[in-house]
Chains A and B, each alone.
Chain A
Amino acid sequence: MNAPASTTLPKPNFDRQGEQGYQERVDAAMRSFVREFGVTAALHMESCVRCGLCAEACHFYIATRDPKYTPVHKLELFRRAYFREASPFAPVVRALGLVKKPTIDELQRWQELIYDSCTMCGRCTLVCPMGIDIAELVKEARHGMYKAGLIPERLALMDRTARQWGSPATPAEDLPDILQEVSAEHGVPIPCDLAQADILVTAAPAELGDHTKALADAAKILNRIGVKWTMHQEGFDASNIGFNNGDMELQERLTRALVDTAVKIGAKTILLPECGHAYGAARWEAAKWYGAALPVRIIHMTEFLDELLASGRIRVNKIADSATFHDPCQIVRRGGLEAAARRVLAALGFELIELQDAGVSGFCCGGGGGVVSNIRATPLRAKVFEMKKAQVEATGAKRFVTSCGQCRITLEQGAKNTHWTKKTESLLELVADNLAQ
């Protein structure tokens, strides 16, 4: 409803894109939901026993004790689509009207649950006694919300930008200039648009905006090991906002941009930046969009550092400080790099003091899955940040390290808002700054 802004009416917690009518939106969402139901999604939808344990794992529920943030509840409309249209008894369900079709009002109200209060961190997946991958299902539900034109406006804006620029951060044609500047500022050569290279190096909005030093750090290490590498306008942003928003077309386009560019320049490896969702999109989902096993190797910066240090191709000076580590959800819990990150920390000589919830069951920074870009979710994110801050303080560690740019930005924003003096550091930056001769 397009009611005029008023001090008496509450501001609706949803945004709308496009000119579709209400019924069209509902139908588009339903069609998309139904198409998600292969065996695995169906098994999960069938298996929930409403035990309520998922709530106990979700940082949004823990921070607010509001039952509406129960993870499986976020899937309610998705569940209804399943039972109405794809489940074994669906024809009977429809005939007897046993499950109601979602209404436009419900879809709009659900936007907040699916986008503002879910980072797709997967902690709920860990605790569910039935092994339901709730985080993955939320990601699938987002496909339908996108098709219905019901995603947060900020994310929609970034989506439109990425469709145009190939990145929500910067137009492709600005890349050479940015790299030029960074190169000059840090005194490190950064090749761009080479016609042939062995490694295609990519970045994410964090590296292209707030933390451009990371580009130089990566360059320093790559140059040190003497590989032929390049960044490239045609495939430079690995962050894949389509993956976050539920825009499957964009997800496929951005994925192909990376892979096709790598193939074009003869690269056998795509090096991802310190970014969580980039890893999920490229390492685990890219083959699905590509339609075949990828012809290139996808490697995350953390893995890359681990391999270089383990093989002795680089060495670092030891830092005799205590440190604690924030495990980015997409590369540790959902990515498998828990041990790799710790090996790098060990190589750096840190005395690692783990957070109370660390490793695979670490708490999300609260900003993943687009939540940090969703201004509407700021108050919620602030509550979650308090939990993270308390855990860090409790370790008494001197340094605070992570290996994802978006986590870093989320934590820095939280620090700024709460006047927390603890600096969030990057694993890549620490390795680059402490490279031994």
Chain B
Amino acid sequence: MAQEFSNQKASEPLLAAWIKWTMDFWESMAQMGPGPVATAGVGGGAAPEAGAVRDPWLAALQLWQAFFSLLTEPGTVAAVFQGIKAPSETILRMAQAGWGGYFYLHQQWLAAWQGVGISEGEYGYENLDQDIFKICNEIYENDFRQLLNLPQLHLTGLPQNRISRATDKFNQFQTAMAEFIYLLFLPVKKSLRAMGAVGITFGEDNLPIEFKEYYKRWLKILEGHYMTLFQSEQYSRTMSQALNALEDFATAKQELLADALEVLGLPSPRDLDELYREIYLLKKRTRLIAKKLDQSEPSGEEG
């Protein structure tokens, strides 16, 4: 009981720290929100049209603050957990590992958001804000991947290694693809920002009333951003990583499939490939001999 209490006590500062980060995060989000939103309460100086957007933001923030103030009060956590009797040490450790990962992710996410709005320079794709993918990958590798590498118990007769490997490669492929897709989305984000300066592109007194004109201008800007991205080292590297991850997953999947086919007594793709290679070589040799025979005939023309 004493042990349980001390574990619970130990997790409280962590929780409090996380709550503080969360509060900071939502405060900064509120400041970045639409219109001149005041975080300390409903401000009187805001424009009336901004109120409709601002109020839900403030309401959500206040609710969030109230909820977490309650949580940070001493004894609240104990009250929450009082119904749970003696969770085993293993469960607590696993939960701590999971929370630890989540806190870390949250902290990094917050740091990333604080960087939003800092200009990367026009048409620049170096030093991208992609730490989130690195962090996700780190958490996966530190907390989850090791579970897939547990030693196999051969007694079950299951191809656990193959399944774990395919699962691992699938997860890595998902991470790499997410990063690649994020990169592909960046020009859209950048071009929309550029359209904010629409007065510069059209001239302030010459703003068209045709939606199509704005679309055409946006498309042109978007194309420019894509061309810059596609020629960047960052893109080549991310694309190669995504492709490599896809190839690794395809290979792992094939190996798993080959095991399953073997159990069913069916030839695997590798068996068929060996057969195809033999047929290919035989055909090639046969054709070469046939060609030589044709050429030995007097009517054959040669280039």
Partners in one complex: no
